[in-house]
Structure 1
């Protein structure tokens, strides 16, 4: 079974000089659901004003995609096991380092989800870790990247 996902990346030079490499990296990201966000290069990679610090950069999008996919699988696992989740908050952190070819890459992502349960029962610490492991194993995004992904439930 194949699924197709679409996203548009839109950048226009406008009246900027391009050949001097001092063009703004701000652009639009439009998704198939209709939402659009402002994208840019990371100010950690390309300095402001050539980057837009209030925009989302590709590295943040990758970290967010991993975190979101993990959460969606975790919620699915929780409901199948009869647990009631009231809140899920993950503060995910991606780290970019040099690889063996001396190229920058997002080498690791640390997920730190805090899950609040209610109802008659909640998983014990061991079961909670198992559920996060199941979510990680099922996550389409985690299965699509070479990045080392660690999960440390809070």
Structure 2
């Protein structure tokens, strides 16, 4: 078993009122390695100026964590299979909609990785799909969510 920590810090600051629901949603996320990330609610959920579009919102953090976990597993599996990966890029897409219970939820996440390989051993499409499938099966984050997670590799 492993445990992980993160810190969330928010302060009302100079806002005179809180109960009018017009307070700033900006805050910071602090991670155990020392990274501090500016965060906010999504401007599509809480309008400006109470949200800050430059901050990472929870929805973005959620889909980024799925993508990051998938990538890390993919790289590890590719290396074990003898493939040399030169670059990996993903433009992940999350869809917020009503779920079966009628509540707002991240109902699907589509990872769209583009992987560049080099060397004598290059995967064909079937091998590439198998690498992504295994990475998805191993990803701790994907194994922790109820949302549909689609892997749609982009071939270069």
TM-score, length of structure 1 as denominator length:
0.98
* Structure 2, unpaired ranges of 5+: none
The equivalent of 2:64 in structure 1 is 64
Deviation readout 1:95-150 (Å, 9 max, x if unpaired): 00011222110010000000000011111000100110000000000000001000
Distance in structure 1 (CA, Å) of the matches to 2:35 and 2:54: 17
Deviation readout 1:48-87 (Å, 9 max, x if unpaired): 1010011100000000000000000000010000000000
TM-score, length of structure 2 as denominator length:
0.97
The equivalent of 2:145 in structure 1 is 145
Distance in structure 2 (CA, Å) of the matches to 1:64 and 1:18: 31
Q: Give the length in aligned residue pairs.
A: 153
Distance in structure 2 (CA, Å) of the matches to 1:100 and 1:133: 26
The equivalent of 2:9 in structure 1 is 10
Aligned residue for 2:115, secondary structure, equals strand
Distance in structure 1 (CA, Å) of the matches to 2:27 and 2:2: 26
Distance in structure 2 (CA, Å) of the matches to 1:87 and 1:54: 26
Aligned residue for 1:50, secondary structure, equals coil
Q: Which runs of 4+ in 1 moved over 3 A?
A: none
Task: Say whether 1:84 aligns with 2:87.
Answer: no
Aligned residue for 1:76, secondary structure, equals helix
Distance in structure 2 (CA, Å) of the matches to 1:15 and 1:80: 54
The equivalent of 1:112 in structure 2 is 112
| Worse overlay, 95-104 or 144-153 | 95-104
* Structure 1, unpaired ranges of 5+: none
Query: CA RMSD for the aligned pairs?
Result: 0.6
